[in-house]
Chains A and B, each alone.
Chain A
Amino acid sequence: KAGVTQTPRYLIKTRGQQVTLSCSPISGHRSVSWYQQTPGQGLQFLFEYFSETQRNKGNFPGRFSGRQFSNSRSEMNVSTLELGDSALYLCASSLVGLSSYNEQFFGPGTRLTVL
């Protein structure tokens, strides 16, 4: 089975721009979670989607948004980019989410650099 994939792998943007990142979960997985990883803040939860619905959300500003499609693929969008948004953005998929005790598997991440 193919693992979680993310595109693009690297992205360079300037302040004020917006960006869209994509995540394809493992086949059959219906839950997709997004995390931001930075050296200073570590891994922080952004949001989780299941069956095209956002079920859980972390403490990030409204500039961070996401969605999930009927095939479980997910996208996240960051608008009005700030320098502090530079990070590795990781998505993770699981069968139906932690409440059903299913493990999360991470994608390789998208490295976003904001100049």
Chain B
Amino acid sequence: GENVEQHPSTLSVQEGDSAVIKCTYSDSASNYFPWYKQELGKRPQLIIDIRSNVGEKKDQRIAVTLNKTAKHFSLHITETQPEDSAVYFCAASIGTDSWGKLQFGAGTQVVVTP
């Protein structure tokens, strides 16, 4: 069935270090892969996304890579800062006519310690 697995569930990093979160998906038809950041008590915020025709995308300290053959994609945060502390969710569109349907990973709690 449709499934997105996300690892690790928690990640503690020192300020300035890099953080990597990995996700795998099962639906071969998935073609859109967004990443959301959710701070405590707030709404999920889209931080970066990637389409199936692209292997890598970067936006300042954040980058996402996609390997369609292996069905996995990763979020990379470099030079982490305390304000990067939050829960990060990966997601994948489901089906060829996915119209607004995203399958989410379980989330990764990232803690950046000064």
A residues sitting closer than 8 Å to B (CB atoms) are: 31-33, 35, 42-45, 48, 50, 55-56, 58, 90, 92, 94, 97-99, 101, 103-109
Contacts and interface: CB of A to CB of B under 8 A. Distances in A.
Contacts of B104: 35, 42-44
B44 A48 contact: no
B105 A33 contact: no
Contacts of A101: 32, 51
B106 interface: yes
B103 interface: yes
Interface residues of B, number: 25
Contact of A43 (B46, B89, B97): B89
Kindly name the residue among B46, B49, B101 whose own CB sees the greatest number of chain A CB atoms within 10 A: B101
B102 interface: yes
B93 A98 contact: yes
Given A42-B106, A103-B49, A104-B34, A109 B100 contact: no
A90 B89 CA distance: 14
Contacts of A35: 102, 104
Nearest to B106: A42
Contacts of B97: 55-56, 99
B42 interface: yes
Contacts of A58: 101
Given A42-B105, A42-B107, A106 B43 contact: yes
